[in-house]
Amino acid sequence: MSNNLQSSSRPTRPAVAWIGLGIMGSPMSENLIKAGYDVTGFTLEQDKLDRLTAAGGTAAKSIAEAVKDADVIVTMVPASPQVEAIAYGPDGILENAKSGALIVDMSSITPQTSVDLAKNAKEKGIRVIDAPVSGGEAGAIEAVLSIMVGGEQADFDEAKPLLDALGKTIVLCGPHGSGQTVKAANQLIVAVNIQACAEAVVFLEKSGVDLKAALDVLNGGLAGSTVLTRKKDNFLNRDFKPGFRIDLHHKDMGIVTDAARNVGAALPVGGVVAQLVASLRAQGDGGLDHSALLRSVERLSGNQVA
């Protein structure tokens, strides 16, 4: 383990910089604070910084200020352009982090962006692992995320205690970019699953079945899934407050369809669902939770959608 993370006398927790305090980043950073880590955060929204300080963290005025003394720098931003914006340039992470620091990028981005970041960081003496997550806002709050990691074994081992404070299933999937590839596959499975659940909901309701009873029994059999467990109340109550926005899932479906094309993998069902996600976004529902795919099925079925 790096001397940055452990003294000769006893293990010490690394100083952590956290960049990106959104729907996922805020509760995740708070879980690190609860686990005893010193967390210095930066994001563009003052209310998110206020939330961090209320939880016991420290707010920084810039990326440079946040990362300058950090042993580990966790990034959780929406997409590849944002990762590149915070990583590069005179005010970015690579120019201001100390040599030997470890970047744990938990954003969901293209595999190539992760590969490029690791290469460019190495030239600065900075290490990187890509560590995107699955589990949504609830998983972030409950610290039960699934974390899929790409990078070097030694860096994964060093980051593992920190990741243990954020999730329950934490797996090194291969070299740089592998975590993002697995996350893309995750998003494919989730989107197709939500779409299937949404179609079942409309089918059941139009058939006059007690929807709650039907979903309960379906979830107890082979049709059951984490998606149905997590999103059942969204379907029942038509509550689409964003836990994971359609806008972000649209971005992720673009990543998986492009990556699949590059390796020659056919995604016939995934391609259709990607278009349905894009269509829902085009109808103005991009800010809603991805369970709002139900709204698209309702429109196609002739239902009035508020």
Q: How far is CA 302 from CA 13, 204, 261, 296, in A?
A: 56, 15, 34, 10
Verify whether residue 251 is a known catalytic residue: no
Q: What's the rounded Cα separation, in Å, for the pair 24 and 77? A: 9
CB-CB contact of 256 with 111 (8 Å): no
Q: What's the rounded Cα separation, in Å, for the pair 201 and 206? A: 9
Select which of 183, 231, 232, 251 is catalytic: 183
Query: Phi and psi for 240 in degrees, rounded to 5?
Result: -115, 30
For the chain, report the end-to-end CA distance as a whole number of angstroms. Answer: 55
∠ CA 58-35-145, rounded to 5°: 105
Q: What's the rounded Cα separation, in Å, for the pair 146 and 170? A: 6
Q: How far is CA 73 from CA 32, 49, 52, 220, 305, in A?
A: 12, 16, 16, 41, 43
* Active centre residues (catalytic): 183
